Structure formats: C-alpha cells, structure tokens
Chain A
C-alpha cells in the first residue's frame, strides 16, 4: 500500500536485511523522493511493532548511501589480503563464477564447495537454492560450533514436541493484546537474553516483554550479567556462565518432587513423565548450587514461582544453547514448559509456525525434500559433512556440521574442500571460533566468492570475487519465519547492487537451468507463497498477513494439539512419533542418545574442569552481549549508530579493575590459553567480579583493510581465544562461547 504526499512517495513494507541486519519482521514506511530513499520509520498499522522502530531501521538512509558501500562487482587483482580490486561488469562476474564453479564440480564434485550464509538476511532461501541447483549438500553457517545460533532451539523443539515455541506476546494475533483470547503471563522468565536489544536474536521483540509487564506480568531474569531487565525483575538469578543445564535440571527436580505439575496435561499429552521424575531426583538444588553458584533458595524460589503461576512463559536466549550439551539444556527447558502445562496456551509458550506455513527458507529436512525432491535430498545427504556422525544433522536440519567442516577443510578427508560461497557472512570478524584456524583453512581455496553490502575483513582476506548485495528497499523478497507473512518490495536502485535472490537466481540458472523453472524472482516468490493463496503483487498491497483462526496450516494459536492442527494426519496431539510431548525422547533413543535428562560439565576450562588453570587465569570470559544499535559485525561504519556504541570494550567489575590497576577507558589485553586480544576497559558493576563480558564481532572499517591489519580483527576478535570441537552429543549446541578462562592486564 503506497501513499503519495507531495513529491515524496511513502511505501509500506516488511523490513528485513540487508540493512537492519536482524530477524526483524517489523513493518516500515519507506519515503522515496527523486528515486532516493529519504526517510524510513515504523509503520503504525503493522501488528508486530506498531509504529516503533529500532535504531538500525532509522539509520537506513546512512546505510544505503554510505560512500563505502559495495557498488559494483569486483575481482581481486593482487594476492589475497592485499586490497587490490578491479571493477568488473555483472556479466563478467557471473562468467567467472560459472566457469570456476563448473571446473570444480567436474574435477572434485560439487560437494567440494561450501555454501555459507550468515544470520539475519533472507539469505537462507537463496543460498540453499543455489547450493542444491549446483549439487552441493554443504549449506551451512561456517564458523559456528554445533550450529549454536538458534538451530539447537529448533532442533530441541522438534524432537520434544515437533515444533519450537516462544513466549506468547499475542504476536500471532492481528489484534495483539486486544484479542479476547490472549492473556498476559503471570510470570515470564528471560533466560540468557538481553531483551531490550530489540529483535536482533529472534522473531520476538524484546520490548514485547515490556508490553507484558505493563499488563501485569512479573519478570524473572536468569543471566550471569546484570541487565536492565534484571534490575526491573522480581527475581534475578546470576549463574556461572555455561551452567544453565544444571539450573534447568534443578528446576525439574523441584517441580516434580513438589508435585507442582499439570497432571491433566501430562496424563493426556505427555509421555515418559515417571521416567523423567525418577531421573531428575539426583539433580537437587544443593547439587545445582555447587555448579552454578546460584544459592539453592533462589533456585527453589524460581522453580516455584514459575510452576505456580498460570500462565507462565520462558524466553530462551542464544547463550543457553551455547552451553555444554546445549541441545539437552533446551530440551530440559521444553520439558519444564510442558509438565507445568504452559505449552500452546494463552500467555504460555506458544508453538511458532510461519503464517500459512510459507517459509522464507527450509528449516527442516521435510521442507528440503518438499522443495528439492526426495531423490536429490537422499543423494546429497550421503555427502553432507557431519551427517554420518550426527543423526540430527541427517534427520533434522539439512546444514553441514561446522566443527566437522573445519576438520575436513584441514584433512581433505573424506573429500577435499575446494571453494567457498560466502553470502552475508563475515565469519573472520564475527562468529568463527579459533579464528586463525578458519583463516588458515580457507586462505588457499581454489575459489571464494563473497556477496555482501560492505567490504569486510572476510572478503578482503579470502575473496576472489566480491558481489554487491542490495539492501531491503532495493529488493523483492518475503519474510516468513514464524509470524506474519511480510512482503518486501523494491522501490529504489543503488548503483549496481543486486538482491541476493537476483544474484543466486541468475547464477543457478547458468549452472543448472532445469533447477530454475521460473522466469523471474517474483514468479518464484509467488510460487513459494502459494499456500497463502496470494501472489507477490497482491501481498505488496497487503504488506502483511496472519493466517485466520482454525486454518489448517496450524500457525494460529491456541491449544492446536487438541484440534488436530499440528499433525499432517490431522490427528490430535503433537508432531512427534508418539503424538505426545516426549519427555522420554524416542527420537533420541532411536539415535542411540540418552532419551532422558543428564548433566555433563564438559566446558573445556573452568573452576570445576581445570581448577589449576583457574588459579593462573582467574576470570571467566563471557562474550556476545548484544548492542542496542549494532548487529553482530555490521554497522560499525554507520555514523549515527557507531556514535551510540563507539568502542570495542570489555566490561570489568570495579573490584577486578582495581586489583589490576585498570581505569575506565584504559586499553587492556585479555589473554586466554589460546592467545590474546585487546579492548578498551569499561569498568562497571553490572558484571560479576569473577567474570568479564566481551562484546563480539568488532572490527574497525575506518582502519586499513590490507593484511596484516585487516581492519583490526587480529587485535580485537575475542573468538581467537575460543576453541571449536565442543559440540554436544547430537552435533547441535555446545561450544564454549562463554565460559573460557582468561586474565586481564593493562596494554
């Protein structure tokens, strides 16, 4: 729906990356004058954000017309890292990519190119589409350990009840809080999440929690670091990083031993309750206190408050799955949600499905098969890296396993890796743990193409070809990852930038014309949106839509398990083998994994695992606190955003700082057993004296891009001190993103 005011035309659309970077889903108004975007702000008549907007959306004009934006295709003319580039035409860029990729497919097989996406953008759809057209099963997010960026949450939800769930903030109801069916939860737990950093991490806006609190919800925060929300909570638990699993088990222990469960729900809709109750007997609050440092009284209080409230909800942050046995931790939280009867009820944790089951990109194996056919999927699965080792990699999400990829890049076994297609992924500045190892493994590949909006350290150090991606007002796409179906439509062009869809569509057509039966990207998007009954053009006018009540797609709450809306066969129950919430997990049992909860302290370092080392490195490093204005490695060059969060800092407790003679603003080294990096000290009581917090993904685009400086990543990147290879027994979850030991001293 577009309105014209004088010579400015206002276009309404969904906002998704490139641009804000996040998982968004908000509605925005984009004002265009003389072919240029002049203003972007929130859209009042969109239910998710209702006129509100984050700083990243509000700075879009600076992002789109930034002088450093990639404007046209370039090829490398010097050595990797030398910062020598030559402008080329799109035709030449596509010719080079086609030729090099076809050569690699002939010589080594298409599986030897890894297709790696980042987070945020709608890029998952186009990258899997390109990988499958080319014939590679190795679609992934290189640099993560154990897929630890939301995928464990998807996987844990999938094995427990066939779907994942989110706290209910009426986000699936067009009238939101005014819908008479909706209720505010009595208690909401925010577990390991900086909610007010907007919707950067989930399809869930942090500020919805504030909406709930204004409607009477009491908040409990579980976080090793004191957040703003913690200071507004009725209860704050401060665990040692990496011990959320112990807390989850102790909560299960309290709730089952005190009988604070929803017996009717358990009897009808869950299986394995008695076995669960028996198993968690050993995980007492006393036991959990020793591990987590949270006093047992607070553990008991938290469990009781949550279990006695009805409804109550839990929001699970990313660090929770980055725990030892991360998938297991999330599964245990799902067990807690189910046995207290808080699943898919108003104000509880509601099952999250995209409107009409239209998806932006395939999440599950089932969807991959639907999209690309069972034969191709079977053929490709045999070669997917990690599928032979991890059943969830084979059975659930068709992503190659990142820890196994890095091993294979080094050994060349069982087959060599020859190329990387990198789209919206700046892993050397951002998520790649053991960063040097990733760089060494990638620097001599035969072919590397990077698609991005700005030149990044990763592109400088690795790419042969760099392609400029369009930001959201420059492209046609859809947003549908759990919540409304939003349409994004192209209203302007910036230089020669092309959308990720256009780029991959064109290249896929060149590589394998049979895989691209559509004439245009819009035609393909309409095909993808087919379950909704809308064409792309119809949705441009409508902007957003949620499925109506009772729709068979099962995307509208509540109590869908009673109505047969969750299972394909239309029967009551959940989308699991037994139709129940599987507290005793038959999928895990079938894969030879423990079907019941357990605890493993497998953090490679820490006061319990390596007490001697803890004396030498007396601080526990947490990483990755979210910024209100910067998304992962993006936005460091956007003036309006950078000035709100200007420096690569490390947060230190005043006691810790005093002991080391460190003052606010001093440059300090943070050193672990794998190396050291430098930061500016921010002395603040919000961190525990035995812990530090290091915001991740810092690089300095204002400094030299040429190696060895490479925009400062080797000086700043905290992930250099974090190892790979600590994924959990399912291959999902794990990785000591928080929990490594370190020491801090003045630089």
Chain B
C-alpha cells in the first residue's frame, strides 16, 4: 500500500486549535500529550508592505500522530482534517498530496 501523508496548507491556518483538540478526543490523549499541536510564529520585517508583522500558525504532527488509523478503517477522514475550521488540511497518498501542494504558496507535508 502506498505511503500516506498529511498535507498542511499553513498559509491558511488561522490558529483555531480544532485539529489539536479533535485529535485528543479521537485518541483520548490526556493533558500534555498531543498528536498534533498548533504553534504560533510571529516575524517582523520592516520592509514588508501593509504590515511589518507576519503571523503564521502551523499544526505540528507529533510522534503520536497515527493518521487516525482507526478512523481510516471506518472509511472516515482523520479527526484533524474533518474538524479544521480553515479547511487547510488534507490527507491521502503522498503522490496525491504533492499534486495538491504544487498550488499552495506555503505548505508542509507530513508522512509516516
């Protein structure tokens, strides 16, 4: 079976934390244990037009992300992909994900 990946179009991630909490609910992870965690990154560049500040959020899949194997067996998409309020997460084979990725200004691909 071809390897699966989680594609995150992080230019669109608004930092709502839905992925993180959906993952915790799905895996019953306690406080402190994350399958995916949202990080805030703020950078300043005075040369940037309109606003010198840039805010990015990036959901970081941890070692406890199993791409929701149990949900996949039931034919459901991963909890984070479903809950994502920005619709910036996608799941599929690596080949499918790299095709989607070509059109995204800033994206990261996670696989396991």
Q: Which residues of A contact B (CB under 8 A)?
A: 39-42, 51-55, 58-59, 61, 195-198, 205-207, 210-211, 214, 226-231, 233-236, 628-629, 639-641, 643-644, 684-686
Contact = CB atoms under 8 A, between A and B. Distances in A.
Greatest chain A CB density within 10 A among B14, B31, B54, B55 is at B14
B70 to A, nearest CB: 12
A214 B85 CA distance: 13
Contact of A196 (B14, B51, B52): B14
Given A41-B82, A198-B85, A639-B30, A55 B16 contact: yes
B2 interface: no
B21 A685 contact: no
B16 A198 contact: yes
A52 B18 contact: yes
Contacts of B50: 233-236
Given A41-B82, A686-B42, A210 B87 contact: yes
B16 A643 contact: no
Contacts of A39: 25-26
B17 A55 contact: yes
Contacts of B38: 644
Given A644-B38, A686-B42, A53 B83 contact: yes
B8 interface: no
B15 interface: yes
Interface string B18-51: 1011101110001110000010001010000011
A205 B16 CA distance: 12
30 contacts: A51-B82, A51-B83, A52-B82, A52-B83, A52-B85, A53-B22, A53-B82, A53-B83, A58-B18, A58-B21, A58-B25, A59-B24, A61-B25, A196-B16, A196-B86, A207-B86, A210-B12, A210-B87, A226-B51, A226-B53, A228-B55, A228-B57, A229-B14, A230-B53, A231-B55, A233-B51, A234-B50, A628-B16, A643-B31, A685-B44
B83 A42 contact: yes
Contacts of A228: 14-15, 55, 57
Greatest chain B CB density within 10 A among A53, A205, A227, A236 is at A53
Given A55-B21, A641-B21, A686-B53, A41 B85 contact: no
A685 B85 contact: no
B12 A42 contact: no
Contacts of A42: 82-83
A368 to B, nearest CB: 36
A641 B17 CA distance: 9
Interface of B: 12, 14-18, 20-22, 24-26, 30-32, 38, 42, 44, 50-55, 57, 79, 82-87
A235 B84 CA distance: 26
Contacts of B20: 55, 644
A742 to B, nearest CB: 23
Greatest chain B CB density within 10 A among A41, A230, A639 is at A41
B31 A58 contact: no
Contacts, number: 112
A206 B12 CA distance: 13
Nearest to B74: A5
A466 B45 CA distance: 53
A54 B52 CA distance: 30
A640 B15 contact: no
Nearest to A56: B21
Given A41-B82, A227-B55, A207 B14 contact: yes
A26 to B, nearest CB: 10
Greatest chain A CB density within 10 A among B24, B31, B38, B57 is at B24
A166 to B, nearest CB: 18
5 shortest interchain CB distances as A-B pairs: A196-B14, A639-B31, A55-B21, A58-B21, A207-B85
Given A198-B16, A231-B51, A236-B50, 6 more contacts: A40-B25, A53-B18, A58-B24, A214-B87, A640-B21, A685-B42
A217 B40 CA distance: 25
A125 B30 CA distance: 37
B84 A52 contact: yes
B18 to A, nearest CB: 5
Nearest to A55: B21
Given A51-B82, A58-B22, A643 B32 contact: yes
B15 A52 contact: no
B85 A54 contact: yes
A234 B26 CA distance: 38
